[in-house]
């Protein structure tokens, strides 16, 4: 079991909920699940050259401001996740945010996607899709100057809400900048709502 996971017990469930007893694909019925505030954070890493990172920082690419374009693409992708991933439920998202962290010395761009919803199923796939499509958009904007650009490490970093509660990747906590006041408030509200739900069920 990976050692960089906080609350790793969540990964112990090996039941494939998207498969029926005969192995056929199915869309999970979430109608009986309790609605709660849910949030998911996913990231992607873009490896390019220091020169390309400087172009991204200055919006100096011939195609224009790649970061602005990638941010919009990520937001749009999150909203379209159920059209792209066959068994995902359509969600009325409360929030989609795309953050960029650029390191010119290493030639790296880290993309972080944050999605939130009040509902009865999680937003992990929306966050992952947002991060992936943002990274693909960066590739499209930069391919003329660096066709060797590499996209990697598309992964879930954190989820809150729902029956399983909080799950975090420990390494992500160490590398992410401190949360803004708004993010701290939102995370605290989600955790408080989950705690209240647990007490109600008890």
Residues 6+ away with beta carbon under 8 Å from 98: 70, 71, 74, 75, 111, 112, 113, 114, 130, 131, 134
Query: Per the structure block, which two tokens stand in for 128?
Result: 């992952």
Q: Which residues on neighbouring strands pair with residue 40, listed in sequence order?
A: 115, 159
Q: Residue 121 and residue 40: Cα distance in Å, rounded?
A: 11
Beta bridge partners of 21: none
Instruction: Provide DSSP, 138-161.
Output: HHHHHTTT-TT-EEEEEEEEEEE-
Catalytic residue selected from 22, 140, 146, 202: 140
The CA distance from 90 to 82, in Å, is 5
Residue 178 falls in which region: left (phi positive, over 0), alpha (psi -120 to 50) or beta: beta
Closest C-alpha among 128, 189, 129 to residue 160: 189
140 is catalytic: yes
Residues identified as active-site: 140
């Amino acid at each position: 079991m990976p050692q960089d996971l906080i609350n790793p017990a969540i990964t112990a469930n090996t039941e494939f909920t998207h498969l029926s007893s005969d192995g056929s694909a199915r869309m999970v019925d979430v109608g009986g699940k309790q609605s709660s505030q849910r949030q998911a954070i996913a990231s992607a890493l873009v490896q390019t050259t220091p020169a390309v990172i400087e172009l991204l920082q200055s919006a100096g690419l011939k195609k224009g401001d790649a970061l602005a374009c990638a941010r919009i693409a990520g937001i749009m992708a999150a909203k379209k996740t159920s059209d792209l991933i066959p068994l995902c439920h359509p969600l009325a998202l409360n929030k989609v945010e795309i953050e960029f962290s650029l390191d010119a010395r290493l030639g790296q761009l880290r993309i972080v996607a944050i999605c939130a919803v009040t509902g009865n199923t999680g937003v992990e796939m929306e966050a992952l899709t947002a991060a992936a499509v943002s990274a693909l958009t960066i590739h499209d904007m930069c391919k003329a100057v660096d066709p060797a650009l590499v996209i990697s490490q598309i992964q879930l970093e954190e989820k809150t809400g729902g029956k399983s509660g909080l799950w975090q990747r420990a390494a992500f906590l160490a590398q992410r900048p401190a949360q803004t006041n708004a993010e701290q408030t939102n995370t605290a509200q989600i955790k408080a709502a989950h705690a209240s739900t647990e007490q109600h069920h008890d």
